């Protein structure tokens, strides 16, 4: 069975329960999640919110990343979902997770998944700061 169970971009709130359900596997001794949330600051400035925009190829690239990580690590299940659209401070922006027989594999795979997603998937963040200024992050 393909360990890549859930890959999605959503403009609606993300659900940790959905991701955990996708990672359910009787052979797994460990499940690891990374949940990225919108924080109230960045580089010393107060953040009031942000907007994530995804290139039309983002879902295809996210799927490739998920498959590569699944092939590179001893995982039995893998999930990755990223939010698009307007988010407020505290909202969940991304959830990635893996399951495997042993915790070390799970920790390593989850870290590689979020790091590779951030490096390769064309999703850009438009931050709004408390002082009224703004900036784009991650543009090519």
**Which structural domain range is residue 20 located in?**
4-137
Q: How confident is the model at residue 136 (pLDDT cuts 50, 70, 90)?
A: very high
As a whole number, mean pLDDT of residues 87-107 equals 97
pLDDT at 138: 81
> 42 has which bridge partners?
45
Spatial contact of 107 and 33, defined as CB atoms under 8 Å apart: no
Euclidean distance between CA atoms 30 and 35, whole angstroms: 16
Q: Output the domain CATH number for residue 28.
A: 3.90.1170.40
Segment 49-83, tens digit of pLDDT: 999 999 999 999 999 999 999 999 999 999 999 99
Q: Is the pLDDT of residue 40 over 90?
A: yes
State how many domains the chain has: 1
- How confident is the model at residue 107, as a pLDDT? 98
Q: Please state, in angstroms and rounded to a whole number, the distance separating the CA atoms of residues 11 and 50.
A: 13
């Amino acid at each position: 069975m393909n360990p890549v169970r859930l890959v999605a971009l959503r403009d609606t709130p993300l659900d940790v329960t959905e991701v955990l359900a996708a990672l359910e596997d009787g052979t797994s001794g460990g499940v690891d999640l990374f949940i990225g949330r919108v924080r109230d600051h960045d580089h010393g400035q107060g953040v009031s919110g942000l907007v994530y925009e995804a290139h039309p190829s983002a879902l295809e690239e996210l799927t490739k990343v998920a498959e590569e990580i699944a092939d590179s690590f001893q995982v039995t299940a893998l999930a990755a979902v990223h939010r698009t659209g307007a988010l407020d401070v505290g909202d969940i922006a991304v959830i990635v997770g893996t399951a495997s027989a042993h915790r070390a594999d799970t920790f390593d795979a989850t870290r590689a998944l979020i790091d590779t997603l951030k490096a390769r998937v064309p999703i850009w963040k438009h931050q709004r700061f408390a002082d009224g200024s703004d900036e784009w992050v991650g543009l090519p």
